[in-house]
Amino acid sequence: MAAETVTCAKGNTYKLHKEHTLTDKKDVSAKPVPVESTKVIVLFIGGAGDKESYYFSGPYRNIQRAWLDFNKRAESLQDEGKYKSEWLGYNEVRGKSDIQRHVLSLIPYKICPIYIIGHSLGGWNGAHLTRIMSEWGYRVPMLITLDPVGEGALVWVGSDIYRERPEPIAEDWINVRAMPTQRDPSDGVADFGEKWLISCGPSLNANVDTNHADAKGLFVAPISGAKSASDLLFESVMREFS
């Protein structure tokens, strides 16, 4: 496997302070005003046939394996009420009403950091979601696209995806592309849907020797030294509490 690093401009970094002080004209003593402690939201967005059947095929729950694996890593944060994650289908983040129902309902307050991991068509719609959320005033520290698909006109006609090529907005963007030495049927499906070939934009662009359907394999394979996308995601999440 090989990885190529591309240096791109980063967005601003924000920190939520746990308290601040206010004074009024009558009382000159400092009054601490508590602010809700930091919480992160992590969204795992699957592709076609992932969460529900697609043309009578599936569901295969490809990205669910990555989601469950990462939840184990973040179990202590979840127990402390600092972490919340959700497994969504690509069609559940397409359009304002779906985003309001499936995404905004998970977010406790607007400055809550939102991480987005999308596989296949979920990578395509998830990348669009980063721009929509950013334009609505939300903060997206990281986008991870796992072998994203969506360039093909035929797949657009038969799938609930955005037609335009995504222009993501995230502080960091990791793209992992499946480049298997031994192909399986899922790689043919990805070719039919036309992979989104990304040459510039991500802060890390990597190829992994695994098949398109193996979302967990793409997620946990080393891509930056010994570190995987899962490792880099976990490090970023933990920085939110430092």
pTM comes to 0.83
Locate 199 and state its tokens: 């040459």
Residue extents of the structural domains in the chain: 38-239
Give pLDDT, residue 163. Answer: 86
> How far, in Å, CA of 133 to CA of 144, rounded?
15
> How far, in Å, CA of 123 to CA of 108, rounded?
24
In DSSP terms, 83 is beta-bridged to 40
Q: What is the DSSP letter of 213?
A: T
> How far, in Å, CA of 143 to CA of 164, rounded?
18
* Biggest CA pair distance of the chain: 75
Per CATH, which fold does 38-239 belong to? Rossmann fold (3.40.50)
> How far, in Å, CA of 127 to CA of 114, rounded?
13
Locate 153 and state its tokens: 């006109």
> How far, in Å, CA of 69 to CA of 71, rounded?
5
Q: Are 93 and 143 in contact (CB under 8 A)?
A: no
Give pLDDT, residue 34. Answer: 39
* pLDDT tens, residue order, the chain (242 aa): 444 444 444 443 323 323 333 334 444 444 443 344 569 999 999 998 887 766 567 688 899 999 999 999 999 999 999 999 999 999 999 989 999 999 999 998 888 999 999 999 999 999 999 999 999 999 999 999 999 998 877 676 667 788 899 999 999 999 999 999 999 999 998 998 899 999 889 999 999 999 999 999 999 999 999 999 999 999 999 999 98
Give pLDDT, residue 223. Answer: 98
Give pLDDT, residue 14. Answer: 29
CA distances from 192 to 115, 147, 187, 206, 207 (A): 28, 13, 9, 22, 19
Angle value at C-alpha 215, between 213 and 219, nearest 5 degrees = 150
CB atoms within 10 A of CB 6: 14
Give pLDDT, residue 24. Answer: 41
